[in-house]
Amino acid sequence: MSVPLAPSFTYRTIDTGTVRINCAVGGEGPPLLLLHGYPQTHLIWHEVAPRLAADHTVVLTDLRGYGDSDKPAPGPDDAEYAKRAMAADQLAVMAALGFDRFAVAGHDRGGRVGHRLALDAPDAVSALAVLDIVPTRYTFQHADKDFGLGYYHWFFLAAGNGIPERLIGGDPEFWITARMNARHHGGTAFAPEAVAEYVRCFADPAAIAASCADYRAAAGIDLVHDDADVAAGRRVRAPLLALWGRHSFVGRTYDVLAAWREYADDVSGAALPADHYLPEEAPRLVADALREFFRVR
């Protein structure tokens, strides 16, 4: 099977000292880090990254626990999958590639990692784009019946006692394809080769366990870190672009820009004609919006 990423991108594995992170690098120009969400890998950017590589050195990674990156076993408090730990991985990757300051774009979980990276390493992040999310702390503070039904997987994946791991492990392909197809609204269809890669990676029981720990951390240790930031007055200083799907739960439910302005100083953004998976559903529009945003930073 051919991996649907332009051949101009080269793959390497970077040892951060804690985990080994799978990444692909292509293009020339100012560095730009692209982070994927759940349940994908770096390949969610397969249509966007080549477009951005005309103006940037583009780095795509698999987050720890996902894709072909390491998947450390979760501990009692899931600190291994705190967004702070996942953001530190990405900072180490970029440092290993020779970049001490760079732009970041993250979809879904990757946006949450990008948010934490911008808070923990403000001198490293020149600009941040977040795709189809509002801050984790904001979502939990505004959770209601619609959120519980629309984002039920946040609670299912965070359940303990091995319940989600056992159930997803029984048919990971069904779980992946059902989740993705339920959150797609027209636009570009998912590339079968990319979906096959998501399923291949997610069929690993360690990936399932890691992704559940990612969601448990979001409902636990991440909120501790977020509350501490708010109490200390720490906000995202870098310019922040929010893009969201007009048909997504986020787009239908929140005033996205108002939500982000509670956590960041310089916020802009817009809705795109898509559901949740913007880089795959609307790759040209995403690439154009990111290119324009990062061009002026």
Instruction: Indicate the domain borders of the chain.
Output: 10-295
User: Token match 């991440």: residue?
Assistant: 222
Active site residues: 108, 276
Assess if CATH 3.40.50.300 describes domain 10-295. Answer: no
| pTM, rounded to two decimals | 0.97
Alpha-carbon distance 184 to 132, whole Å? 13
Residue 2, pLDDT score: 55
Residue 1, pLDDT score: 41
Q: Which two tokens stand for residue 200?
A: 């291949």
Q: What is the mean pLDDT for each group of 10 consecutive residues in the chain (297 residues)?
A: 75 97 97 98 96 97 98 96 98 98 98 98 98 98 93 94 95 95 89 95 96 97 98 98 97 97 98 97 98 88
Helix axis angle for 83-96 and 221-232, nearest 10°, is 80
With beta carbons less than 8 A apart as the criterion, state whether 134 and 147 touch. Answer: no
Q: Which two tokens stand for residue 175?
A: 């779980």
Terminal Cα distance for the chain, rounded: 38
CA 60 to chain centre: 11
Residue 191, pLDDT score: 94
- CB count within 10 Å of CB 156 equals 14
CA 190 to chain centre: 17
Alpha-carbon distance 221 to 217, whole Å? 5
